[in-house]
Amino acid sequence: MQAFSLFSLGGVLLVSVEEDIDDDGLRDLVARVSFRVSRETIAGVIVDLHHFEVMDSHFAGQLQALARVLRLLQARMVVVGLCVPVVMTLLDFGISLPEMEFALDVEQALVRLQEAGPDQGNGP
Amino acid sequence: MKDISEVQLDEGFLSEIINAITSGIFVTDLEHNILMINKAGARMVGKRPGDCFDRKCYDIFKTPMCRTEFCTCDIVTSKDRANYGETTMQVGDRQIPIEYSSRPLKNYEGKIIGCVENFIDISERLEKDRIILEQKESLLKKREEDIRHLQDEILELSTPVIQVWDGILTLPLIGTLDSHRAHIAMERVLESIEQTRAAFVIVDITGVPIVDADVARHILQTAAAARLMGSETLLTGVGPHTARVISDSGVSLENIILKGRMTDALQYAIAQLEERRLKMKQFSHFMGALGEDRDREE
């Protein structure tokens, strides 16, 4: 079974990630998301992580890498569904994930992507 | 009836007096033979005085010090001085705590010929001491518990997270903000965000008397945590003094939206929420239209 699923929501790509995703799955995810973003007109990618109860620094690093790739492809990335323990762990590790945005849920993320983004100046 | 001054102080009468004393008294020679023991002393070791004569004192009393360098008889006879202390003696299978004092015994020439020792049973006293200590400890423990309980209560009271509007939380901070309190406040904010799905958190520091670099960092960390959850943090109540301290400390508050007063922050947050609600409406219209298109195609 695939550890992530992609949904297209009219210019926005929704990526739902399962907690048991492994390194290969992650590489596949980054490849497929960046491919879709480069081919279609996708303004934003919403990464839903509400399945995650724990997150390690490796995964955080991969997220950061995805955010950088998407930035180069001029798409915004919004992470949703981080739970309290995950947030506390990230803070304890001093990981602030500066290159992406966060929203409470997918709905809020969609609204956020409608708003003017932080890197609006770079847009087309 | 005879007056006490008329009583002849002969040997028999002296031994009567010694036997009337309630503490144990005994005399040993330099070879640890018991030359004399009074009734109270013999009773304490569960014997009669007659059973103890000419026996070695270490066979009768069996203390941990017996036949070691700490033997009180040896100490007083070799050093010609008094010796005091506490120990336990073994009577049958029972341990009896005693307090003893010994002095060297000299003959008319001043030569040391033995040792006089008196001892008392202190088990009752020790028991009393133990009870007092226990009571003291339990009292202290209870006090500590009370204090901890109060501290928890104060922490609970001092970091209230209030939902003032649908989607807006406030955290009015009062009093000094140490790292422990800051951590609790942060955790509570995160939990409240998770429960209420609040998009804005207003942190008010009007009631924090001393704002230094550490406090600023704590607030910044709370904002960082709220950001990861998907909420925005607004900071209000920054006075001129606080502003100067924060600017001097070099802590950047760029991830935080600063507003002068709580009312300003509320207005801003409500306006933002309203805007987002409208956008959501437009967006759902758009999505609905998309869906209709697809239906038509099918």
| Average pLDDT value for residue range A69-88 | 91
CATH code of the domain covering residue B226: 3.30.750.24
Element containing residue B226 per DSSP (H, E): helix B213-229
Is residue B137 domain-resident? Answer: no
Range of the structural domain that residue A101 is part of: 4-122
Q: Quickly list H helices, B2-38.
A: 11-20
- Nearest CA to CA, how far is A103 from chain B (Å)? 4
Q: Are residues B164 and B77 in the same domain?
A: no
pLDDT for B296: 63
pLDDT for B74: 86
Tokens encoding B21: 């004393």
Residue positions counted in chain B:
298
pLDDT for B274: 92
Whether B279 and A109 lie within 8 Å, measured CB to CB: no
Is residue B252 domain-resident? Answer: yes
Percent of chain A exceeding pLDDT 90 equals 30
Q: Are residues B62 and B182 in the same domain?
A: no
Best of B186, B194, B228 to disrupt the A interface by mutation (most A CBs within 10 Å)? Answer: B228
- Nearest CA to CA, how far is A68 from chain B (Å)? 17
Q: Are residues B274 and B173 in the same domain?
A: yes
Tally of domains within chain A: 1
pLDDT for A115: 75
Q: Which chain A residue has the Cα nearest residue B167? A: A104
| Average pLDDT value for residue range A94-110 | 88
Q: Which chain A residue has the Cα nearest residue B199? A: A104
Q: Are residues B117 and B166 in the same domain?
A: no
Is residue B116 domain-resident? Answer: yes
Q: Which chain B residue has the Cα nearest residue A9? A: B287
Range of the structural domain that residue B70 is part of: 12-123
Whether B229 and A96 lie within 8 Å, measured CB to CB: no
The Cα–Cα gap between A91 and A96 comes to: 7
Residue B225 contacts A where some CB pair is shorter than 8 Å: yes
Task: Identify the bridge partners of residue B127 per DSSP, sorted by sequence position.
Answer: none
Tally of domains within chain B: 2
CATH code of the domain covering residue A82: 3.30.750.24
Is residue B139 domain-resident? Answer: no
Residues of B with Cβ-Cβ distance to A102 under 8 angstroms: 227-230
Q: Which chain B residue has the Cα nearest residue A107? A: B280
Last residue of a domain, one of B102, B123, B144: B123
Q: Are residues B179 and B277 in the same domain?
A: yes
Tokens encoding B174: 């009062």
Last residue of a domain, one of B123, B150, B176: B123
CATH code of the domain covering residue B99: 3.30.450.20
Contact B27, B115 (CB under 8 A): yes
pLDDT for A1: 60
Whether A84 and B190 lie within 8 Å, measured CB to CB: yes
- pLDDT over 50 at A123, yes or no: no
- Nearest CA to CA, how far is A16 from chain B (Å)? 17
pLDDT class of A13 with cuts at 50, 70, 90: very high
Whether B228 and A87 lie within 8 Å, measured CB to CB: yes
Ramachandran bin of B167, using left for φ above 0, alpha for ψ from -120 to 50, beta for the remaining angles: left
The Cα–Cα gap between B81 and B127 comes to: 31
CA distances, B88 to each of A123, B45, B73, B99 (Å): 91, 11, 16, 8
Whether B224 and A114 lie within 8 Å, measured CB to CB: no
- Nearest CA to CA, how far is A82 from chain B (Å)? 6
pLDDT for B110: 84
In the block, residue with structure tokens 């002296």: B14
Residues of B with Cβ-Cβ distance to A87 under 8 angstroms: 190, 225, 228-229
Is residue B67 domain-resident? Answer: yes
Tokens encoding B199: 């998009």
Last residue of a domain, one of B123, B145, B166: B123
Q: Are residues B76 and B18 in the same domain?
A: yes
The tens-digit pLDDT sequence of chain B (298 residues) is: 556 666 677 778 888 888 888 888 988 888 888 888 888 888 888 888 888 888 888 888 888 888 888 888 888 888 888 888 888 888 888 888 899 999 998 888 888 888 999 898 888 888 999 999 999 999 999 999 999 998 888 877 778 889 999 999 999 988 888 888 888 888 899 999 999 999 999 999 988 888 888 888 888 888 999 999 999 999 999 888 888 888 888 877 777 899 988 999 999 999 999 988 888 887 777 777 766 666 665 5
Question: How much is the mean pLDDT over chain A?
Answer: 86
Q: Which of A80, A83, A107 sits opposite B280 (nearest CB)?
A: A107
Q: Are residues B101 and B53 in the same domain?
A: yes
- pLDDT over 70 at A119, yes or no: no
Backbone angles phi, psi at B191, to 5 degrees: -60, -40
Is residue B298 domain-resident? Answer: no
pLDDT for A124: 34
When mean pLDDT is compared across A82-91, A98-107, B43-52, B114-123, the lowest value belongs to B43-52
